[in-house]
Amino acid sequence: MVKVRLWGSLRQAAEGQTEIEVEARTFKELLDRLVETHPGLEPQIRRGVSLSLDGVIYREAWFTEIRPESEVVLMPYMTGG
């Protein structure tokens, strides 16, 4: 199981939780499980999210491996100038 931290404004879409545990080995699996278990997150995930894995931010990378002990933080899709 992987513990995923959500940002605050996703709380209402995740039944009041800001940490969710899901069974996932990759970024793609994680997103799929989040949508399955918490459909309220789907609009934001469809719009785009980034993933911080042990402090490194990934904007895409479906197949990035996630270890059970990893720190996983869901973030808005990052943009720059």
Partner 1 sequence: MSLDEYTRREFKQVGTRVRRPDGVDKVTGRALYGADATAPGMLVGRILRSPHPHARIVAIDTSAAGALKGVKAVITGADLPVQEDNFIRDVQDNCMARDKALYDGHAVAAVAAVDAATAKAALKLIKVTYEILPHVTDVDIAVKPGAPVVLAGRTLENVPAGMSENVTSHCEFGHGDPEAGFARADHIVERSFRTAATHQGYIEPHAALASVTSDGKAELWCCTQGQFFVRTLCAAIMEMEASQLRVTASEIGGGFGGKTTVFIEPVALALSRKAGRPVKIVMTRDEVFRATGPTVHTSMDIRIGMTKDGTITAADAHLRYSGGAFPCGTVDMGAQAAFAAYDLEHVRTYGWNVLTNRPKEAAYRAPGAPQAIYAVESVIDELCQHFGLDPIEVRLKNAARKGTKSSYGPTFSDIGLVATLEAAKQHPHYCAPLAPGQGRGISCGFWFNFGGNTCVSLNVNTDGTVGITEGNPDIGGSRASISLMAAEELGIPYDRVRTIVADTSALGYNDVTDGSRVTFAVGLATIKAARDAVKKMCARAAKIWGIDEEAVEWKDGAAVPAGPNAGKFPPMALAEIAAVSFETGGPIAGHHEVNVDGAGVSFGVHIVDVEVDRETGATKVLRYTVFQDAGKAVHPSYVEGQMQGGAVQGIGWALNEEYIYGADGRLQNPGFLDYRVPVASDLPAIDTVILEIPNPGHPYGVRGVGETGIVPPLAALSNAVSRSAGIRLAELPMSPPRVLAALDG
Binding mask 18-57 for partner 1 (x = CB under 8 A): ----------------------x--xx-------x-xxxx
Task: Please provide the distance, in angstroms rounded to a whole number, between the alpha carbons at the two ends of the chain.
Answer: 36
DSSP 61: -
Tokens 């002990």 -> residue? 69
77 with 59: CB under 8 angstroms? yes
CB of 79 to partner 1, least distance (A): 7
Tell me the one-letter amino acid at 59.
R
CB of 80 to partner 1, least distance (A): 3
Footprint of partner 1 (CB under 8 A): 5, 7-13, 40, 43-44, 52, 54-61, 64, 71, 73, 75-81
